[in-house]
Structure 1
Amino acid sequence: MQRIFAADIGGTNARFALFAEHEGNLALRLAVWEQSADLHTAQDMLHIMQQQLQTSLAEGDALVVALAGPTQGLQGKLTNGPLRVDLNGVAQRHNLACCLLINDFTAQAYAMLTPAGAGAKFVRGGVRATTDSAQTKAILGAGTGLGAASLVGCGSAAGNVSWLAVPSEAGHAAFPFMGAEEHAYQGFLARELGCDFPSVENVLCGEGLSVLHYYLTGQFFYPPAVGEQALSHDTPTLQWYARLLGRFCRQWILSTLCLGGLWIAGGIAAKNPLCVEHPAFFQELSVGDDVGGIVAATPILLIADANSGLWGAARAALEHQQWQGLGSNAET
């Protein structure tokens, strides 16, 4: 049995967990949440993690940190926060067999293979189409920021499927507005945010929620209040948001060919499931040509487990170890 420390650091929340692994099965022993704004360095993060989990890193076998921002090797920075991470030397100091720093949606991609993914609510489709499928899977999620990734199955010498997470920066692509009404809103959003081409993240996350509700109603709410006041029941804000989210889901399905399923994560949809249950969401999925019936055939699921990133980080350690094993077998 091995012990895996997992961290999932977002713009608002920093989540930490300790997992036990036995014969490929993960068990969550303890999970705690802190505020990301309190973290500035890797030392801060590791100190709080060990303190809150009441376990020293020296007692573990692996550490995986999922960060909502760009990563390179064992270094990275939080996009919406002060944290800068450098994990170089951590494995040696604490005698860890595995130490990884990954993007948070690389972790969310691996979460699809865990109980967090298996327990997701089906928005459209059937269980059999996803749980036993080796077809490509994809995930996206809107919260403080927007992430998107896919998971590609690769055969191994033993005949089992190994999985490779493919990250993306799809959230920073320009959002595809359609029609005069939406283009009028595009101009308003661009002026409010001071940008020429609003991105997918600008439209579907954080401040974009406040701007959308203000544009439609003349009322200004901070993003959490928009969810409580305007996404919890049928309102013009919900109709617009569901339509815009559905459009990005359709694009991501076509971009990734994720016939194994599209999982929707992130705090906005998890707290306000009407965003993916409203007729406007489903109508947008059917707009335009569906080449080969790909969009219609793809199951869509909603992840409700707020610790899914932690599960995915722990699973990333197991996949990393499996890929290392495959590399060793290839060398011999």
Structure 2
Amino acid sequence: MKKTPLHDEHIKLGAKMIDFAGWMMPLQYEGIVAEVEAVRKNVAVFDVSHMGEIHISGSDTATFLDWLLTNTFSALSVGQAVYSVMCNEKGGIIDDLIAYRTGENEALLVVNAANTQKDFDWIKLQSKEFNVRVDDLSDRYGLIAVQGPKSESLLSSVVEEVSSLKYYHFAEFTIFGKKCMVSRTGYTGEDGFEICCSWEDTPHVWRSLFEIGKNFGLKPAGLGARDVCRLEASYLLYGSDMDESVTPLEAGLGWVVKFEKDFVGKDALLSQKERGISRRIRGLRLEGKRIARHGMAVLKDGKQVGTISSGTFSPTLQSSIALAMLDASLKIGESVLVDLKGATVEAQIVKLPFYRGSVKTASV
């Protein structure tokens, strides 16, 4: 079992620890509902050091990443980042990630923890025809997410210049005496920042955040709150809402697919676009408080028309919500039934996102 550089800090804070993608991670501290509330109304910090960091360098970096990713990397300036998916030749999603342009000829890809080795192997394979070097630096970096409407106030009390960062932009700052890369990104639907620093410096930055955070009501938050927040904001989770059997068009991620350039999987996705998708991710709001779990059937007129990919009870909305892969013919506003282990519950197909918080808008 792998441990993040903040493992001992979580134990001191009384976290309930679980195995997540081979990492010992905090599920919760005070409790999931209280931690979600801290993110939505105040500010909270998450340990996301389990995420993978893959470094690309060389004269073909921009050209290569335009080929590797569905979104356009070459249009970024140094100090900008972009969300994208990485597809196989059939258009299936190998992973979703954030690509940071850290130099004219270098980039950092932050990938999902469970996919780091798979991604690294795939990227190395695809890089053979390009003048680039691919390095897995995941064991060198720690990553702390500071999320919530008061996150800017908290961080700017340490480094005033943080306030000038636009959404999906990043810069290097000295925070608590340590060199860090700070990006205005997150996975909660609120305004927030992610602090990337050396593995060794991560505990110092974490503890120092709590020292100054006393004035802002800062709380630690675990994977439980992270999953609730991302689902309320309708952000997809790899392995639940998408995988290599799902295309970005089916996942509602067509906006990150730039057909004006060549990329791995383009032909398959063009073909799917032309013939039309037969299924797509939709949002459901269920009656009552019971939770729809991954894999549960969605029914209409006695027939299965889809499958739940993620579900939770939203403390923010006081409603049971879910994402589901549904027949593309179903429209927003229609009613369906969710089979909760033998008992069916009515649900309505609703427009996404379920919740829109203080998150900034794109300024690319």
Which of the pair is proportionally richer in strand? 2
TM-score (norm: length of structure 2): 0.23
Higher helix share: 1
